[in-house]
Amino acid sequence: MRRGQHTGWRYAATSLLVLGWTALPALAAEQSAPDPADSVAGLVFRWLNFALVVGGIVYFIRKVGAPYFRQNAQAIGQSIRQAAEERAAAERELNEASQKLAKINLEIQDLRRAAASESGAQTERIRALARTEVERISQAARAEIAAAERAAALELRGAVAQLATEHAAELVRARVSAATEAGLFRSFLSEIERSAA
């Protein structure tokens, strides 16, 4: 497009230069008097010369300028259409971006809602787990305490029984007599006899 414009200007400048050269003899002759060109024939020729120059110019303009301007107009039109298309595309993109932005806001709101909901559920799960764990630990502790109590009671009973039997053994040692021993033997003998029968 820029190259086409330069070529047009070059043609126009060349045409003006040719016109100046052709008009110079007429101007030089105008200063000398009397000039035969002032006669009727000269006037006719001058008008004829003028018509030729004007015709040349018109011909040149129509030959060279019209395609140039037509091409230029086409280029401008093309540019305008292209600009319009680009503008439409930009507007579409803007609309899409606006829609996306609006959707993004909605999505962000959805995400925030989901996150809040998930956070609440997670918190509830953690609380439930904590409650379960506390209950489990409490049960284990209660069971352990009960077992320890039973073991302690059993140990205490064992110790008491041991002390009682040790004391009883000392009493037996101290107080058993020949008569007692004879009685025990008789009792044992009776048991053997009963087993034999």
Partner 1 sequence: MSVLADRYADALADVAIEQNAVDQVRREFADFLALIRESPELSLLLESPAVQRASKRAAVEALTARMGASHTVRNFLLVVVDRRRTRLLPEIQQSFDARIDERQGIVRAEVSSAHELADGEKAELNGALDRLTGRRVLAAYRLDPALLAGTVVRIGSTIYDGSVRTQLERLRGQLASQ
HSE-CB of 110 using CA atoms within 13 angstroms: 6
26, 46 Cβ separation under 8 angstroms: yes
Length of the chain, in residues: 197
| Residues that bind partner 1 in the complex, under the rule CB under 8 A | 154, 157-158, 160-162, 164-165, 168-169, 172-173, 176, 178, 180-181, 184-185, 187-189, 191-193, 195-196
3-state DSSP assignment of residue 18: helix
In the complex, what is the shortest distance from the CB of residue 142 to partner 1, in angstroms, rounded to a whole number?
24
Residue 79 CA, distance from chain mean position: 36
Residue 166 CA, distance from chain mean position: 86
- 27 versus 192: smaller Cβ distance to partner 1: 192
3-state DSSP assignment of residue 173: helix
- 55 versus 183: smaller Cβ distance to partner 1: 183
In the complex, what is the shortest distance from the CB of residue 181 to partner 1, in angstroms, rounded to a whole number?
5
- 32 versus 187: smaller Cβ distance to partner 1: 187
In the complex, what is the shortest distance from the CB of residue 175 to partner 1, in angstroms, rounded to a whole number?
10
- 66 versus 168: smaller Cβ distance to partner 1: 168
In the complex, what is the shortest distance from the CB of residue 149 to partner 1, in angstroms, rounded to a whole number?
16
The DSSP 8-state label assigned to residue 197 in this structure reads -
